[in-house]
C-alpha cells in the first residue's frame, strides 16, 4: 500500500488523444494524477509526454486494481472512452476495486439516459456519479476546455477545485459550473453540439455563396473571414475557418487544401440526438435540423454527381443563371456577414429553447445564462456574442426566445433585409442555403401574429374530427364540413346549420371512437 503522500489526487482512464491531453492539463495545473489504459503502449506514451512536457506529476498504471489503489480516498476517476458498451465495461473493471464514497466521472459524449442509468447503478453500490460534457477538442482538453458536469452534487464538490483550474478561464470565471442532477451535463453537451452543427453549416453556406455567387478566391475569403473575426462574428469557428483558407496543398504543391477535400461530412450522433429530442419535446429547431439533413445529403456524393449529369442533360447546369445581373461583391460580402450573424442567433435560440424545455421536463433547473457563460471559452462554439446571450438571460431568466431580447430583436430587424437578399440571391442562382433559409423562416414564422395554421386545423377537423378553437369565443368546436360544403354546392348555403360546441367529455369520446392520427 502506497503512503498517503504518494497517492494521486485524481485518476483518468482512457488515453486516446483527448484523455492524454486532459490528464496532462490536470497534471500541469499541479494535481498529481494516475492514468490507466487497457492498451499498455498508451500508458507509456502518456508517461513519455508528461516527462517531455515539463516533468509533470503523472503516474502510469497497467491494471485496474493498481490504478484505483493509487488514488487518494475518496477517489475521483474520470473515464474518457467511446460511448456505450465500452463505458459500462470500464466502469465494471474499475468499480470492482472502488469503495463507497468514490466517484466515477464519464467525460465522453454519452446519451444522457445512459448516464442516468449508470447514476442509479453506481448509487446502489455506494458510488457517486457524474456525466461531464467536455468541449474544446484536443487543444481544449490540453489547454482549457469548457466542462459541463451533471449528476451527484456531492461528487462535484469533491473535484470542483480541480475542474475550476483545468477549465478555460474567461473574464468572469472558469468555464465550468455544476449543471444539475441526473444526465443534465451530457444533455447540455449534446445540445451544445447541436448548436455547433448549425453554426458550422451556416459558415459553410456563407463560404458557398461568396465563392459560387461572388466568385471570391480563397485568399479573399481568408481576408474576409479574418476581418469578420475582429467584429461581431468573432468566434473559434470563424477563426479556424480563416486559417483553413490560407493552407496550401502540400501533397501536390498545387492550390489550396480546402479545395481538395471531399465534400462529404462525417458525424458522431450528437446532432441527430439533438434533433430527435427537439421533436419529442415539440421544440422547433429548423436550423439544427437543416444542418443534420445537409450532412446526410453530403453523404450521397455519388448520387449527387449522377444527378448533376442527369439534370444537365435536361438543360439545367449546376450553376443556374436566371438572368441575375452583375453581383456587387462589396455589398454581397456585407450582406452575407449580416445574414450569417442573424442565422447564428437563430441556431443559439433553438438550442436554448430545447435546454429550457428539457429542464422543465426533468426538473433540472438549468441556468441558461450560466451555460452561455461557460461556453465563452474553451469550447467549439465559443464566440464573443455569448457574453451578450448570458446578459440577455440574466436580464430576463424567463426569456421565451433569444430573438425577442430587446438587443437581439433590434439587431435581427436591422439585418433582415440583407438576410433576405442573400437567401433570395442564392435561390435564384441555385446555391443551396438550407441553414440560412431555415433560420429566416424560423424568424418570419415566430414574428407573425397569425399563421395559416387555421387552415391546417380546419383540415384536421374535416377528416378526423379533431376539433378546433375559435378566435372570437372560447371552447372547442367541431364542424360537419362535408355536409356544409354539399349544401353550398346545391345552392342552399350554410344557414340553418349550427356549429356544435363540444364539452371536454364529448371531445375525448369522439377522439377515442375515431382513433385517427394526422
Tell me which DSSP letter residue 333 carries. Answer: H
Q: Are 355 and 349 in contact (CB under 8 A)?
A: no
Q: How confident is the model at residue 513, as a pLDDT?
A: 43
Q: How confident is the model at residue 320, as a pLDDT?
A: 73
Please give the grid coordinates belonging to residue 107: 467525460
**In whole angstroms, how far apart are CA 211 and each of 222, 226, 245, 336, 434?**
12, 16, 12, 11, 17
Residue 75 marked ligand-binding: no
CA distance 422 to 438: 13
Detail the DSSP E strand segments found in 309-423. Answer: none
- The answer on pLDDT for 333 being more than 60 is yes
Residue 268 marked ligand-binding: yes
Please give the grid coordinates belonging to residue 27: 497534471
For the ranges 145-154, 406-415, 498-507, the lowest mean pLDDT is seen at 498-507
Residue 488 marked ligand-binding: no
Residue 410 marked ligand-binding: no
How are beta strands 169-170 and 173-174 bridged, if at all? Answer: antiparallel
* Closest C-alpha to 443, from 411, 399, 398: 411
- The answer on pLDDT for 321 being more than 80 is no
Residue 153 marked ligand-binding: no
CA distance 346 to 335: 17
Please give the grid coordinates belonging to residue 85: 458498451
Question: Which three-class secondary structure state does DSSP give residue 214?
Answer: coil
Mean pLDDT of 477-493: 83
* Closest C-alpha to 147, from 158, 129, 131: 131
Give the angle 412-223-331 at the CA atoms, nearest 5°: 45
CA distance 357 to 211: 39
- The answer on pLDDT for 218 being more than 70 is yes
Place of cell 441526473: 182
Residue 355 marked ligand-binding: no
Residue 17 marked ligand-binding: yes
CA distance 193 to 275: 11
Q: Are 108 and 87 in contact (CB under 8 A)?
A: yes
Cβ neighbours, 10 Å, residue 183: 26
Residue 466 marked ligand-binding: yes
Threshold 0.85, pTM exceeds: yes
CA distance 159 to 177: 12
CA distance 264 to 511: 46
340: left (phi over 0), alpha (psi -120 to 50) or beta: alpha
Instruction: Enumerate residues 6+ apart whose C-beta is below 8 A from 25.
Output: 141, 142, 143, 144, 145, 166
Residue 14 marked ligand-binding: yes
Helices 481-489 and 453-464 sit at what angle, rounded to 10 degrees?
100
Mean pLDDT of 418-429: 96
Residue-wise DSSP of 12-46: EE--SHHHHHHHHHHHHTT--EEEE-SSHHHHHHH
- Catalytic entry in 28, 110, 116, 196: 196
Residue 137 marked ligand-binding: yes
Q: How confident is the model at residue 517, as a pLDDT?
A: 43
Cβ neighbours, 10 Å, residue 510: 16
Please give the grid coordinates belonging to residue 268: 458522431
CA distance 27 to 239: 29
Q: How confident is the model at residue 323, as a pLDDT?
A: 61
Average confidence score pLDDT of the chain: 92
Q: How confident is the model at residue 491, as a pLDDT?
A: 67
Question: 189 catalytic, yes or no?
Answer: yes
- The answer on pLDDT for 505 being more than 90 is no
- The answer on pLDDT for 514 being more than 50 is no
Instruction: Enumerate residues 6+ apart whose C-beta is below 8 A from 248.
Output: 255, 256, 257
Mean pLDDT of 281-292: 97
Please give the grid coordinates belonging to residue 44: 507509456
Residue 107 marked ligand-binding: no
Instruction: Enumerate residues 6+ apart whose C-beta is below 8 A from 354.
Output: 191, 194, 274, 277, 278, 281, 283, 285
Residue 197 marked ligand-binding: yes
Percentage of the chain modeled with pLDDT above 90: 87
Please give the grid coordinates belonging to residue 98: 472502488
CA distance 276 to 83: 18
Letter string b/e over residues 480-509, b meaning 16 or more CB atoms within 10 A of that residue's CB: eeeeeeeeeeeeeeeeeeeeeebeeeebee
Residue 61 marked ligand-binding: no
Mean pLDDT of 55-68: 97
CA distance 344 to 388: 13
- Catalytic entry in 189, 344, 358, 376: 189
Per residue in 431-463, pLDDT (tens digit) is 999 999 999 999 999 999 999 999 999 999 999
Question: 110 catalytic, yes or no?
Answer: no
Mean pLDDT of 355-359: 97
List alpha helices for 152-217, DSSP H.
153-166, 184-208
CA distance 184 to 182: 6
- The answer on pLDDT for 264 being more than 50 is yes
Q: Are 85 and 108 in contact (CB under 8 A)?
A: no
- The answer on pLDDT for 190 being more than 50 is yes
For residue 10, report the phi and psi dihedrals to the nearest 5 degrees: -155, 160
Place of cell 458536469: 149
Amino acid at each position: 500500500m502506497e503512503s498517503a503522500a504518494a497517492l494521486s489526487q485524481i485518476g483518468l482512464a482512457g488515453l486516446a488523444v483527448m484523455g492524454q491531453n486532459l490528464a496532462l492539463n490536470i497534471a500541469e495545473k499541479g494535481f498529481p494524477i494516475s492514468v490507466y489504459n487497457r492498451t499498455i503502449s498508451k500508458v507509456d506514451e502518456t508517461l513519455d509526454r508528461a516527462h517531455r512536457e515539463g516533468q509533470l506529476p503523472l503516474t502510469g498504471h497497467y491494471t485496474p486494481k493498481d490504478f484505483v489503489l493509487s488514488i487518494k480516498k475518496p477517489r475521483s476517476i474520470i473515464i474518457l472512452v467511446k460511448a456505450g458498451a465500452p463505458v459500462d465495461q470500464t466502469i465494471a473493471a474499475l468499480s470492482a476495486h472502488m469503495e463507497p464514497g468514490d466517484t466515477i466521472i464519464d467525460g465522453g459524449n454519452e446519451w444522457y439516459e445512459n448516464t442516468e442509468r449508470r447514476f442509479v447503478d453506481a448509487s446502489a453500490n455506494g458510488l457517486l456519479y457524474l456525466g461531464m460534457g467536455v468541449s474544446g477538442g484536443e487543444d481544449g482538453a490540453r489547454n482549457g476546455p469548457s466542462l459541463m458536469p451533471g449528476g451527484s452534487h456531492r461528487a462535484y464538490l469533491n473535484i470542483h477545485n480541480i475542474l475550476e483550474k483545468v477549465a478555460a478561464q474567461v473574464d468572469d470565471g472558469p468555464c465550468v459550473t455544476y449543471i444539475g442532477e441526473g444526465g443534465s451535463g451530457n444533455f447540455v453537451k449534446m445540445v451544445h453540439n447541436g448548436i455547433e452543427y448549425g453554426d458550422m453549416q451556416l459558415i459553410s453556406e456563407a463560404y458557398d455563396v461568396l465563392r459560387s455567387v461572388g466568385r471570391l478566391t480563397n485568399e479573399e475569403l481568408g481576408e474576409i473571414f479574418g476581418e469578420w473575426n475582429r467584429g461581431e462574428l468573432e468566434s473559434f469557428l470563424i477563426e479556424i475557418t480563416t486559417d483553413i483558407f490560407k493552407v496550401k496543398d502540400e501533397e501536390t504543391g498545387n492550390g489550396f487544401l480546402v479545395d481538395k477535400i471531399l465534400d462529404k461530412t462525417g458525424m458522431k450522433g450528437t446532432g441527430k440526438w439533438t434533433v430527435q429530442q427537439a421533436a419529442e419535446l415539440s421544440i422547433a429547431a429548423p436550423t439544427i435540423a437543416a444542418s443534420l439533413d445537409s450532412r446526410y445529403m453530403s453523404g450521397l456524393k455519388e448520387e449527387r454527381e449522377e444527378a448533376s449529369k442527369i439534370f444537365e442533360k435536361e438543360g439545367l447546369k449546376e450553376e443556374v443563371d436566371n438572368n441575375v445581373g452583375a453581383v456587387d461583391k462589396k455589398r454581397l460580402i456585407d450582406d452575407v456577414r449580416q445574414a450569417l450573424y442573424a442565422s447564428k442567433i437563430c441556431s443559439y435560440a433553438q438550442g436554448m429553447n430545447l435546454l429550457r424545455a428539457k429542464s422543465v421536463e426533468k426538473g433540472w433547473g438549468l441556468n441558461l445564462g450560466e451555460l452561455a457563460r461557460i461556453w465563452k471559452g474553451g469550447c467549439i462554439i465559443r464566440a464573443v456574442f455569448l457574453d451578450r446571450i448570458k446578459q440577455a438571460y440574466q436580464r430576463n431568466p424567463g426569456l421565451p426566445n433569444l430573438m425577442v431580447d430587446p438587443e437581439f430583436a433590434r439587431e435581427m430587424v436591422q439585418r433582415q433585409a440583407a438576410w433576405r437578399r442573400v437567401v433570395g440571391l442564392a435561390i435564384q442562382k441555385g446555391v443551396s442555403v438550407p441553414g440560412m433559409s431555415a433560420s429566416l423562416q424560423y424568424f418570419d414564422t415566430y414574428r407573425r401574429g397569425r399563421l395559416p395554421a387555421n387552415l391546417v386545423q380546419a383540415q384536421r377537423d374535416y377528416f378526423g374530427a379533431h376539433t378546433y378553437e375559435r378566435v372570437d369565443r372560447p371552447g372547442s368546436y367541431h364542424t360537419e364540413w362535408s355536409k356544409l360544403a354539399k349544401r353550398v354546392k346545391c345552392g342552399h348555403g350554410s344557414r340553418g346549420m349550427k356549429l356544435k360546441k363540444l364539452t371536454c367529455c364529448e371531445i375525448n369520446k369522439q377522439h377515442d371512437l375515431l382513433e385517427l392520427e394526422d
